[in-house]
């Protein structure tokens, strides 16, 4: 399987074309139907990641942050604040498409 890069255009298209995609739940030992619409599944996964205190995982995906209208600020922007999650800076530093010289 080839890895596919998440893009803003792809996310916007997926959410724009979002429609219920119902399948029989029997294959998962469930009664009734399961909605496997990718846009709705992404929303559920993001909500689950955050509700299980694993939101730091989202720092690895600038495309998802952009889609959610979020961003990782620079350390300078957060000066004077306490309780900063350093994992966001570590993740941003590893972005393959980070603009060279960006202050983290």
Phi, psi of 59 (to 5 degrees): -60, -25
Give CA separation, 46 vs 36, 37, 39, in Å: 15, 14, 11
Q: Is residue 100 part of a domain?
A: no
Note whether residue 1 is domain-resident.
Answer: no
Asked whether the whole model's pTM tops 0.85, one would answer no
Cα–Cα distance for residue pair 42/87, rounded to 1 Å? 22
- Domain holding 75, by residue range, is 8-93
Domain count for the chain: 1
What pLDDT sits at residue 20?
A: 86
Mean pLDDT by 10 residues, the chain (104 residues): 61 75 93 90 90 94 86 94 94 95 92
**Cα 40 from Cα 14, distance rounded (Å):** 10
* Exposure class string for 19-37: b at 16+ Cβ within 10 A, else e: eeeeeeeeeeeeeeeeeeb
How high is the pLDDT of residue 1? 46
Q: Is 103 within a domain? A: no
């Amino acid at each position: 399987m080839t890895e596919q890069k998440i893009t803003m255009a792809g996310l916007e298209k997926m959410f724009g074309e979002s429609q219920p995609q119902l399948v029989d739940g029997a294959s998962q030992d469930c009664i009734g139907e399961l909605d496997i619409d990718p846009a709705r599944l992404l929303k559920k996964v993001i909500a689950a990641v955050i509700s299980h205190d694993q939101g730091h995982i989202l720092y690895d995906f600038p495309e998802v942050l952009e889609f959610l209208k979020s961003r990782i600020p620079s350390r300078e922007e957060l000066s004077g604040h306490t309780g900063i999650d350093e994992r966001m800076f570590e993740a941003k530093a590893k972005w393959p498409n980070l603009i060279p010289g960006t202050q983290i």
